[in-house]
Amino acid sequence: MERPKLLPVHGVAMLDFIAREWSLVESFKARPGDLLIATYPKAGTTWIQEIVDLIQSGVDVEHCKRGPVYERIVFMEWTGLNVMTSRKGVEVLNDLPSPRTIKTHLPYQLVPPSFWDNDCKVIYIARNAKDNAVSNFHFGRMNKMEPEPGTWEEYLHRFMTGNVCFGPWYDHVTGWWNVREQHRILYLFYEDMKEDPMREVSRIADFLERPLSEQQLREVVKLSTFTMMRDNPMTNYTTLPTECLDHSVSPFMRKGEVGDWRNHFSAAQLEAFEQDYKEKMAGTDLRLRDSLP
Ligand code: A3P
């Protein structure tokens, strides 16, 4: 398969097959009760999807094995390459009954306005920039549905300039952060989830107004650990053909850690990255942790 290119949508780099059908995405009609799971790619989307599905099902493990995660919670802007579904994300969603749970990687400013007109809830998860970049680099190597990442040095440069799928990480995490009090948004951090999954899953359940018993909470945490999800074909993306995702290059469930960036950044890369980060993030009070105690 030839890899897609990037095309701008309102100045944000987008996969060409999404950009070409942008009007379909832009005009998508959210409904009251829809839940949006929004992330920058590789920030922990699948993790949140599985947790949300477990909570919404009343922790019914068998029900959560009814299909791969990308069929259970549809990727809204996925408009091309009939891979994950035989139809475009918006078309599949249009046929689903309410309430729907929807995945997106869009930055805040590109989300169809109908989500806000209907006061929909959003769960956003952010991950520290360095681990997010490393995870994206390895994903780009194995994912034929996005441009080649090149070498780590080349990819890191592109990540810093923002010429990567769904645009600059910096704008994405701050864009959602800035509006978290204007809408019903639960803004989570990957690092907090790793540090104390019981606490964070409980927050998610409360936000969904589906509080869990202590035993259910433990069950959700157990079923959504990295190893459980890595070994579960309904969450590890091994159900997609190798021509799309080649797990022999790098598995989708790769490491699932905080701080793997230390194994990738040279001293010079780290210095340049941190300097640039300071400048780009100067105007925000958003703080992300790149290691855990
Ligand atoms: P790594 O590449 O660092 O391992 P997304 O779902 O947004 O594509 O994000 C994928 C990243 O989240 C990968 O990171 C993956 O391993 C990690 N991940 C997925 N499930 C996880 C879990 N249950 N616990 C921790 N990390 C998880």
Residue 156 CA to ligand 1 centre (angstroms)? 19
| Residue pLDDT, tens place only, 208-243 | 999 999 999 999 999 999 999 999 999 999 999 998
For residue 263, give its domain range.
6-280
pLDDT band at 1 (very low <50, low <70, confident <90, very high): confident
Residue whose CA lies nearest to ligand 1 atom number 20: 47
* Cα–Cα dist 240/255, whole Å: 20
pLDDT digit string (tens) for 258-289? 999 999 999 999 999 999 999 999 999 999 99
DSSP category for residue 146 = S
Q: What's the rounded Cα separation, in Å, for the pair 66 and 49? A: 14
The pLDDT score that the predictor gives to residue 84 is: 62
Residue-level pLDDT at 81: 61
Q: What ligand 1 atom has the least distance to the C-alpha of 49? A: 6
pLDDT at 191: 98
DSSP 11-35: TEEEEHHHHTTHHHHHT----TT-E
The sign of the torsion formed by the CA atoms of 268, 143, 122, 18 equals: positive
pLDDT in tens, 149-199: 999 999 999 999 999 999 999 999 999 999 999 999 999 999 999 999 999
> Is 107:167 a contact under the CB 8 Å cutoff?
yes
Residue 202: inside a domain: yes
Count of structural domains within the chain: 1
Is the pLDDT assigned to residue 85 strictly greater than 70?
Answer: no
For residue 287, being part of any structural domain is answered with: no
Asked whether the beta carbons of 15 and 145 are under 8 A apart, the reply is yes
Residue 250 has pLDDT above 80, yes or no: yes
Instruction: Kindly state whether residue 110 falls inside one of the protein's structural domains.
Output: yes
Instruction: Write out residues with Cβ below 6 Å of ligand 1.
Output: 39, 41-47, 131, 135, 138, 224-226, 229, 253-256, 260
Instruction: Answer yes or no: is 1 within a domain.
Output: no
Q: Which two tokens stand for residue 230?
A: 């890595």
Assess if residue 286 is contained within a domain.
Answer: no
The residue whose CA has the least distance to atom 25 of ligand 1 is: 256
Average pLDDT over residues 38-51: 98
**Strand ranges (E), the chain:** 6-9, 12-15, 35-39, 74-75, 101-104, 121-126, 184-189
Ligand 1 pocket check: which of 84, 152, 254, 292 to mutate, most ligand atoms within 8 Å of Cβ? 254
- Tell me whether residue 247 is one of the annotated catalytic residues: no
- Give domain status of residue 245, yes or no: yes
Query: Does residue 179 fall inside a structural domain?
Result: yes
pLDDT at position 83 is 64
> Where residue 122 sits, what CATH number does that domain have?
3.40.50.300
| Cα 286 to averaged position of ligand 1 atoms, centre (Å) | 22
Q: pLDDT tens digits for 143-152? A: 999 999 999 9
Q: How confident is the model over 50-71, as a mean pLDDT? A: 97
pTM equals 0.98
The answer as to whether 289 is a domain residue is: no
Instruction: Please tell me the residue having the least CA distance from ligand 1 atom 18.
Output: 256
Catalytic residue among 10, 63, 105, 138: 105
| Ligand 1 centroid distance, CA of 241 (Å) | 20
pLDDT of 86 over the 90 cut: no
| Res. 256: pLDDT tops 90 | yes
pLDDT at 24 over 70: yes
Protein residue with its CA nearest to atom 5 in ligand 1: 42
Specify the residue with its C-alpha closest to ligand 1, atom 24: 226
Q: Which helix (H) or strand (E) holds 8?
A: strand 6-9
